[in-house]
Structure 1
C-alpha cells in the first residue's frame, strides 16, 4: 500500500520544489501545506512553464479542496494558455468557495475584456471594485474597456480615479494623455497635468505628458521646458529627448535638435526614426552629404523606413541628380503608395527629366490623394500650359478651384490662362474674384505672364483693390 508523507516546506520554497519534483519522479504521493503549493506554483510561473504550474494546481486542489486560491491560480494559468472555458469553470468553483474574493471578478473581467464582451467585463470589474483592498489597477482596466467601446469621456473619469488611488500609476498617466488627445482636449490635458505636478513635482511621466500636450498646442518653448524637467528627473528618458528634438525642429533650431536626438543614443539603441529625424535636420540645414549619411543609416537599420528612402531622394534632387533621386522616391513609394508627398516629388523629378507624360500621371495621383494641394494643381496645369494644352490647363485649374474655393493663387493662374486663350471678359471676372479673395497675391499674375504689366485694364482693376 502507498504511504502518504506530510512535509512542511513553507520555510524554504526551493526545498518544496525539489521535494515536489522528487514526488513526480517517484510517482509517489506527498502532502504539502497550502503555502508550499503556492511557492511551487510561483516557481513554475517565474520559470515561464504554465503547463507544469497547472499540473501543480491539480495536486493542490486535490489536497486542499476548500482553498479558493488554487482554483483562482488555475484560472489565471488557463487564461495564460488561452483555455478560457476552463478558466471560467475554475472561477465558478472559486466563487462557490469564496464569493468575496476580488481576484475572481478581476480575472473574469480580464477574460471578458479580451473577448470584447464589454458589458460583462464592466459588470465583473465593478464587483471587484467593491471587494478589493487596492483598486487602481481595476480602475485602469475599466478605463481600457471604455476606450474599446469608444467612450473616452468615461475612460478619462476612471483614469482620474485610478490616479487618485495611486499617483504613481504610469500607465494611467499615459492613457489619460491618449484620451485627451483623441478628444482633442489639449487645454484640459495641460490643466490636469499642471495640477498633478503641483502634488507630484517629481513625476517624470507627468512632465513628459505635459510636454506632449504643449507640443500639440504648438507651444514649443513650453514643451521644451517640460521635457527638460522630465529629463532632469529621469536623465535616461530617451523619449523625452526625442520629443524635445521634435519641438526644436518646429522652432527651426536644427543644430540643437541634432544634438538632442543624438543624446538618445546614450540611453537606447539607435532607431530608424531617430536617424531619419537627424537626416531631416541636416537636410533643412542644406548639409546634404550628412543628411544622406543619416538617411542611409536609417534604411540600413530599418529597410521599411519609407521617409528615409524619400530623404535620400530629396538630397539627390537638391544636387540636381534627378535620375538618381527618382530611383529613391520610387523605393519610398513601394513602401507607401498612398503618400501624396512621394507622388509629388516623383512628378517633379519626371518633369525635370522631361518625362512629361509620366509626370502628368503622377500629378493626377497627387491630386487624387490630396485634392487640397494648391501647388500640385498649379504645377500640373503648368505642364499642360507649356505643351500648349491650354484647354486642359484651364480644366485642371477649374477643378482645383472647385476643391479649393478660397485659394487666390488658383484664381490668378486662371486669369493668366484665360488671357492666353483670349477669353478676356471671363478672365476679368476671375481677376475680380482673385482680388476679393486676396489682393496681396496679385504679383502671381505678373510672375506667370509678365506682359500683363502692359495691360491698362488689368492694372487699373488691381490698383482699385490695392491702393
Structure 2
C-alpha cells in the first residue's frame, strides 16, 4: 500500500515536468527544428517512453518525408495502444504514401471501426479504395459521407468520380454539375462532366460545358482539345480543323496522334494542299506509317496527280494491316481508273471486294469499269447482275444498274 502511494506521488510530481517537456517538443516541431525535436524525444524516451512520444516522433519523420521511419514510430506506439485512432490513421497514411495501399486499407478500416462517425477518416479510406481501383467500395464510402454531409465539394467530387466508374453516369453528371456550381474554376471537373455527357451523346450539353469552361479558361489546351475532338468525332471536319488550330496555338508539343487527327480533319474539310503539308510533316516523324501514306495518296488523288497517288497507295498497301487494305485497294482501283489503267483498276477493285465482301458498291464500280474499256459487254452485264443480287433493293446505284442492264442486253442483241 505504501509502495502504491509512493508511485502515485511520483507520477503526480513528474506530471508538470512531462507537460513542460511535451510543450518543448511541440514548440520545436512548430518552428521546424526537427533535429532538435528528435534529440528531445530520444532524451525523454530514456526515462518515460509514451505513446504520445512515438506519435510525435512519427510526425517529425513525416515532416522530413522519411515515411518508413515514421511508420516504425507509429507501429511501435500501436503496440502500446492498439486502439489509438490517431496512430492508426497516421500509419495508414504512411503506408499509402509508400505505395502499400493494401496495408493502408487495413489500418484505415481499424480506425474507421473505432470512429465510424469521423467523415474525414471515411474519406481517406475511400481515397485508398480509389488508388486500388476498388471503385465499388470507394463509392460506398463516399455515398455514406454524402448521406450525412452533401455540402462538401471535395467529397462530392470523389463520389462523382466513383459514380462514373461504377456506371452510375446520371448521378455522376448531377454531382459534377453541383461541384462546378460551387467551384466554377475547377478545370478538371469540366472534362469529367463532358465525359459523363458522352455516355448519352448529349451534344448540346457537351458544347455548353466546354463553352462555359473556355469563358473562364480561354487558353486551356485541354478544353480546346475537347471541343476539337467532339467536332472531329461527329464528323464536322471544317469546325474541327479550326478548333484544332486554336489548340495548336496553346499546345506547343502535341502528340503524334493529335497531329494525325488534325491532318485528317484538314483533308475531309477539303483543304487538300494544307492536309498534304501536314501529312508530309508526319511522314518525317514516322516514315513507315501506312496511314500517313494512305492519306497522302488521297490528297494527290484529289489534286489529280494520279501517278504520285498510285505510288503512295501501293506503298500504303504493302505496309498496312488487313483492316485498312480493302479500303486502300478500293482507292487504288479508282486511282488506276482515272489513269485509264482499266485492267489494273479492275484487279485492284476485285481485290478490295475479296478482302471485304461487305463492300458491295465495289461490284458496281467493277461493272462500270468493264463497260468503259472492254468491248465484250458480257463481263459488265454479269457484274451489274451480281451487284443487284448482293445489294437487293438497298444499293445506292440500283436504278442506274437496272438501266444499264437493259441497255447492254439491247446492245448484245443487235451485235448478234
Q: Distance in 2 between matches of 1:80 and 1:334?
A: 50
> Which residue does the alignment assign to 2:215?
263
Instruction: State whether residues 384 and 401 of structure 2, in contact with CA within 8 Å, keep that contact through their aligned partners in structure 1.
Output: no
Q: Does 1:307 align with 2:282?
A: no
Q: Does 1:294 align with 2:246?
A: yes
- With over 3 angstroms needed to count, the CA separation of the structure-2 counterparts of 1:313 and 1:201, relative to structure 1, is closer
Q: 1:411: how far off?
A: 1.3
Q: 1:129: how far off?
A: 0.5
> Which residue does the alignment assign to 1:453?
403
3-state SS in 2 of match to 1:455: helix
Instruction: State whether residues 159 and 176 of structure 1, in contact with CA within 8 Å, keep that contact through their aligned partners in structure 2.
Output: yes
- Select the residue among 389, 405, 414 that pairs with 2:363: 414
Q: 1:391: how far off?
A: 2.5
Q: Distance in 2 between matches of 1:76 and 1:381?
A: 74
3-state SS in 1 of match to 2:396: helix
**Paired positions, count:** 366
Q: Does 1:179 align with 2:133?
A: no
TM-score under structure 1 normalisation? 0.60
Q: Distance in 2 between matches of 1:182 and 1:210?
A: 13
Q: Distance in 1 between matches of 2:239 and 2:158?
A: 39
Q: Distance in 1 between matches of 2:285 and 2:115?
A: 49
Instruction: State whether residues 326 and 349 of structure 1, in contact with CA within 8 Å, keep that contact through their aligned partners in structure 2.
Output: yes
> Which residue does the alignment assign to 1:75?
58
Instruction: State whether residues 415 and 427 of structure 1, in contact with CA within 8 Å, keep that contact through their aligned partners in structure 2.
Output: yes
Q: Which deviates the most, 113-122 or 96-105?
A: 113-122
- Select the residue among 26, 37, 47 that pairs with 1:38: 26
Q: 1:124: how far off?
A: 1.0
Alignment map for 1:281-360 (pairs within 5 Å): 294=246, 296-299=248-251, 301-302=252-253, 304=255, 307=258, 311=262, 315=266, 320=271, 322=273, 325-331=275-281, 345-351=295-301, 352=303, 353-354=305-306, 355=308, 356-360=310-314
Extract unaligned runs of 5+ from structure 2.
1-18, 371-378, 410-416
Deviations 1:317-375 (A, max 9, x none): 857562x533323545777999998665444224445422223434676765xx38996
Q: 1:117: how far off?
A: 4.2
Q: Distance in 1 between matches of 2:382 and 2:267?
A: 45
The CA RMSD measured in Å over matched residues stands at 4.9
> Which residue does the alignment assign to 1:361?
315
TM-score under structure 2 normalisation? 0.66
Extract unaligned runs of 5+ from structure 1.
1-30, 45-51, 225-242, 247-256, 460-467
- With over 3 angstroms needed to count, the CA separation of the structure-2 counterparts of 1:326 and 1:69, relative to structure 1, is farther
3-state SS in 1 of match to 2:143: helix
- With over 3 angstroms needed to count, the CA separation of the structure-2 counterparts of 1:211 and 1:390, relative to structure 1, is closer
